Copies of this chain bind each other. A is one copy, B any other.
Amino acid sequence: MRILQGSAGWVLMMLLCSPVLGGTDDDLLEILRDNKTLTPEQYEKIKNKQEEKARNRYRSKFRFGDEEGDFKLKVGGRLQVDGAVYDDNRDLGDGTEIRRARIELAAILYERWRVETSYDFAGDKTSVKDAWIGYTGIRSTLIRVGQFKEPFSLEELTSSRYITFMERALPNAFAPGRNIGAAVNFHGANSSFAAGVFGEGAGAARADGEGYAVTGRATFAPVAEVDRVVHFGIAGTHRVPEDQSQSVIFQSRPESHVTATNLVSTGTLGKTDSFNVLGLEAAAVFGPLSLQGEYMRTDVDRKGPGLTDATFDGGYAFVSWFLTGEIRPYSARRGIFGNVEPRRDFGPGGPGALELVARFSFLDLNDDPVRGGHEENITAAFNWYFNPRIRLFANYIHVMTDPVRGDNDSNVYQMRLQAFF
């Protein structure tokens, strides 16, 4: 206590100003209040500021740079460790894997410009994920150039850190994912619009030239409150493969990634002039209960003797219920869901959040003469969010495939431990 007398306030200040992100000491604050150096109002003010800071820290990535936000760096990482056991006579291959292992660097470079890069090293392979430069100087608008996810599919656009199941549903086989291109995002209060032009097949080891794609998505949320959400979305993409190969392939693993086997696959579809994918989305949140579903339909336009156009489709619907009362956070401006955080009163030291989920999904890759197979999956799962950055997934999937590739029901048991920062 002697430290607080007289000019020793200097010492106090030095301690308070200790150049560590975080800082000011609770005990000291109370002492200052108790010995009247601070008025109760001042004490409250500082205290509140501290708590807000703590909450933000709790939420935010590691950020450095200006508070004002005109020059900022985020260093992030992501790790997902998976294990899977297959009850199947096709030998899908039980085992473990590092599903995702990423380094993420994002920066704000002078207010209106942003750059985001993320790199995945899982499986000892390098994969560039996000790699884009964006301009935010126009109100409610983001213009991007580089590699990023094409605006298509609610589940695809939701970060792999935040998705509800270990793997996205079967129809994700139709979602274009990340490509190199340019796009514009625009949002209203309850709606979002995005459209862009992308290289088709740019990421792959293309021979000569690359195709192109035009993709767009619109979402609207007639209800968009914290605990009540109704979301509708529609997206479409028109894709023209490169001249030489003129090929495309649709396939899917059984919503499990440890195995390398695609139980359904069209095989390479040659002589593909172009193909179109249409996506419809709906989701609703009623407090701890939420529903989400998508339907996608692909029309492949093939030119050649004896070839006919082909149509494939797929869809999924799932229900999620937080036993512990959390609510899936929705961003109407982006038309996607975000990170679930265990409720404050449970806290970082609490038991966390528990979510029960069930999903039905199907993928139909049969359209004569293409016999890619038909698959239906039923998943029962739970998620245990220990804290906002650590989650345990447990998924049981019952897989039903039609006779094309061997009539067989499989059972998949898989778990994931995930951390990100």
Contact = CB atoms under 8 A, between A and B. Distances in A.
Contacts of A230: none
Interface stretch (A74-82, A161-169, A296-304, A311-319): A74-82
Interface residues of A, number: 94
Interface in A127-185: 127-128, 131-133, 145-147, 180-181
Given A37-B10, A115-B419, A387-B113, A3 B42 contact: yes
Interface stretch (A13-21, A220-228, A330-338): A13-21
Contact of A81 (B18, B22, B146): B146
A419 B417 CA distance: 33
Q: How many subunits of this chain does the assembly comprise?
A: 3
A91 interface: yes
Contacts of A68: 22
A21 B91 CA distance: 55
Contacts of A45: 11
Contacts of A119: 101, 103, 121
B19 A96 contact: no
A96 B71 CA distance: 28
A370 interface: no
A111 to B, nearest CB: 7
Provide the main secondary structure of the chain A interface: mixed
A406 interface: no
Interface in A58-98: 58, 62, 64-68, 70-71, 73, 75, 77, 79, 81, 91-98
A344 interface: no
Contact of A387 (B109, B124, B146): B109
B105 A77 contact: yes
B71 A199 contact: no
Given A107-B421, A121-B128, A180 B97 contact: yes
A115 B77 contact: yes
A73 B421 CA distance: 9
Contacts of A58: 71, 110
B121 A180 contact: no
Interface stretch (A203-211, A286-294, A394-402): A203-211
A57 interface: yes
Contacts of A325: none
A200 to B, nearest CB: 10
A46 B70 CA distance: 21
A179 to B, nearest CB: 8
A121 B126 contact: yes
Nearest to A210: B95
Interface string A339-364: 00000000011000000000000000
17 contacts: A8-B42, A10-B37, A11-B38, A11-B42, A13-B16, A19-B20, A19-B21, A79-B146, A81-B131, A81-B132, A81-B133, A93-B206, A95-B206, A95-B210, A110-B348, A110-B349, A115-B421
Interface of A: 3, 7-11, 13-14, 16-24, 32, 37-39, 42, 45-46, 57-58, 62, 64-68, 70-71, 73, 75, 77, 79, 81, 91-98, 101, 103, 105, 107, 109-113, 115, 117, 119, 121-128, 131-133, 145-147, 180-181, 199, 202-203, 206-210, 348-349, 386-390, 417-419, 421
